[in-house]
Chains A and B, each alone.
Chain A
Amino acid sequence: MKTLVEMSDIRKAFAGTAALKGVSIALQSGSVHALMGENGAGKSTLMKILAGVHQPDSGAILRDGRQVVFHKPKDALESGISTVFQELSLLPNLTIAENMFLGREPTTAFGWVDHRRMRREAGNALAELGLTLDPGTLVSKLSIAERQFVEIAHGIMTDASVFILDEPTAALNAADVEVLNHHIRRLKDEGKAVVYISHRMDEIFAICDTVTVLKDGELVGTRPLAEMTPAALIAMMVGRELADLFPQRGDAPGPAMLSVEDFRITERSKPFSLELSRGEIVALAGLEGQGQQRFLRSLVGQYHPFAGRVTIKGKSLPLPVPPGGGVRRLQAMGVGFVPEDRKEDGLFLGLSVAHNIAAALHSKRSELALAAGYQRRIADTMSSLAVKASGPGAAVGTLSGGNQQKVLLGRYLAADIDILLVEEPTRGVDIGAKSEIYRLLRDFTRKGGAVLVLSRETVELIGLCDRICVVHNDTIVKEMPAADATEHNILDAALSANGEANGAGGERR
């Protein structure tokens, strides 16, 4: 076995927040290397650096012992490193063959693109995977699973020796997973190195040889899987002292403010019910992309749920909520929705703190009404949230991540909202600001509000919330008091739901 790739002491920060704090990993030929860790532990960032999507702030990448620098994804590909990302990156209006040869199409005399050769070679690569797809098919006609296989075939065709598979099974059904595992073993037998990122324990133990665990951007350790048990692995992923970040939990909850009954996110998902009471913070936990976000956004009209009844403070909310005016309708009922991507979806970065805070207040009124200044309310919000800015006139884009997040929350707190639906309350903010934001949310419920929150950070949900609903496969599979919850039993609840959900879930879009 020889070392194909070695990454040493890789560091990377995004907008001042450290995502990787000196991680090293070595990939051997003929082995499948599992990369594990909680959501947000830095797995994807590490692999994107290896794939040339991001550039490390410091640290070195050695390819067959020689130091290399990948400025762009094409560099990594040419160096024999092939990646199948979670977000698919095939162009839908090109054929399979065209996608596989994009940027390095063979030509014949006079510069004609050699479509015949492209199809032949692409067909061979597909055949190696045992796929009978016509390489002339447009990618837009393929299912998600087929697209994933095409990306793997792409790697085979470029003669890559290192394959990175980032949660390749998230969208696959049990039969497709079996096919995929078969191919991974073949790659391994041919002496390639495979990096396998997944949350599914059974798969990890079935096909991987080595596991590296990351936590908060740091390396926890690398072990041969033969020495590990699932319980030991989960312990490795979780093992952290809970810092004293969180405020006290709430008292006994009051009357129900938001109740959801027999809600079905999609036609194929199982119905679930959920109740949110005054004074409560309830979490939607689970693995990434299992329907938590889709559920919250169904409430503001971005998605059409298949069925269900929603009651807000005794008034029923007709479903489906209209996509254009859903946010307004909910705001009128006292419900605020805080989107996760505060830069793209949340804030007006070029406008003042005052405008950002007052935005929801203005939205309650008619266009022709005089715009109130709300100076008092803005000043109160800024001081109660301890927003650090040169004044209400400062552009929000100039503030730190934590202060931006406070301004975003402040917009809804200022607007007499009493139910908050929050996505990722502390994404990309430092530890001090996190603690402040937790306190703000708790103060909000003490004053009679209620919060429904989803987050990729399970620790945060356990510390912050009163109750935790574990979401898997577009439905709630388990509900537990946060005081009894551990990362272990949340992960366990989600993963054990896998077995039954796998077969029924099939392919999701």
Chain B
Amino acid sequence: MTAISRRLTGARGSRQGMWMLPLLIALAIALWLSLETAQFLNGENLLNLVPQAMPLVITAVGQMFVILLGGLDLSVGSMISFTTAVLALGGPAWVLIPAVFVLAALVGFTNGFIITRFNVHPIIATLSTQYILLGITRVLRPVSGGTVPDIVISAVAGSFLGVPMPVFWGIFTLLVAWKLLYGSRFGLHLFAIGGGVSSGVEDAAHNFGIADRRNIVLAYVICACFAALAGIFLAGRIVSGDPNVGLLFELDAITAVAIGGTQLSGGIGSLHGTVIGALVMALLANGMNLTNVSPFIQTTIKGAILLLVVALQSRKKMGL
């Protein structure tokens, strides 16, 4: 392996995983789109890209926290739909928005608690909460409708000091995630727990007393809260509650995290990689729309990308 390709793939000696390769892919897609279509470099399209990508960026960043410790959260799609439904219930924003985060924290806590306390596989635990949440969402709002508080709408659609609001959402997300992941003992312990799981030295993390339930539960709470944040953003964009808006979002988020070089077995990955991964997905979606690819086949393409990315991450053990 040459030095360049090693840097690109981050094969060894980096905790950040391979994030340069997806960055190149993102640039390549952007280059191709600007050559292929006239609309891509159009100011309006570029302005639209940020709000288009934002829900995925936010959700993927949350998902990254649980993947880094060797878990997975399949309930984030339902969490997003649930959030839009709650916001469209009607009522003052100062009640609804805190309520959304409290409920999200509760869901995340339930996930983490079941996983750690009853030793249930993360996939099974979050699969079941996915269904329960989806059911509750459909009770609250069987079909899309209702209106969300004005403040939510203007927080997404408006602009501040001439800068569109979605940019501030992105900055806020990155700052919070940056602080949690790189600016706290908790973040370091996430890497340690995941590294122990994926390299078979779980005991090391145990010996230092950091593999306790609190860290794991907290990661699931963070993941659910980021999903709620993405839900608020989406609610502001579609202006109503929609029980199906988050459908399959968990898979897009996992794909984005995996594209960004984060190992699904845990311990290796980075925030910037995840953002790049989400951008690749968003650029791809944008490009497919601009080049008139049928929206139906886009699902297939996304599924195929997920397949390809996970197939390239080989694992030591077979399993879920």
Contact = CB atoms under 8 A, between A and B. Distances in A.
Contacts of A89: 201, 203-204, 207
Given A103-B209, A140-B13, A91 B184 contact: no
A501 interface: no
A89 B12 CA distance: 19
Interface string B171-185: 000000000000111
A72 B188 contact: no
Interface stretch (B39-47, B135-143, B158-166, B189-197): B189-197
Nearest to B15: A93
A25 interface: no
A492 to B, nearest CB: 36
A102 B183 contact: no
B305 interface: no
B267 interface: yes
A137 to B, nearest CB: 8
A110 B12 CA distance: 32
A111 B201 contact: no
A88 B204 CA distance: 9
A73 B209 CA distance: 9
Contact of A73 (B13, B184, B207): B207
B210 A103 contact: yes
A112 interface: yes
A105 B186 CA distance: 10
Given A93-B267, A111-B183, A140-B13, A74 B208 contact: yes
A107 B267 contact: no
Contacts of B194: 93
B13 A102 contact: no
A90 interface: yes
A111 B183 CA distance: 7
A111 B185 contact: yes
Contact of A91 (B13, B195, B209): B195
Given A72-B209, A102-B192, A102-B208, A91 B15 contact: no
A94 B194 CA distance: 11
A94 B195 contact: yes
B14 A138 contact: yes
Contact of B185 (A53, A91, A113): A113
A325 interface: no
Contact of A93 (B183, B187, B191): B191
B12 A91 contact: no
A141 B203 contact: no
7 contacts: A74-B209, A88-B201, A89-B201, A89-B203, A91-B192, A94-B188, A113-B183
Interface of A: 53, 72-74, 88-94, 98, 102-103, 105, 107, 110-113, 138, 140-141
Given A94-B15, A105-B185, A107-B185, 7 more contacts: A88-B201, A91-B204, A92-B201, A93-B195, A94-B188, A102-B205, A141-B13
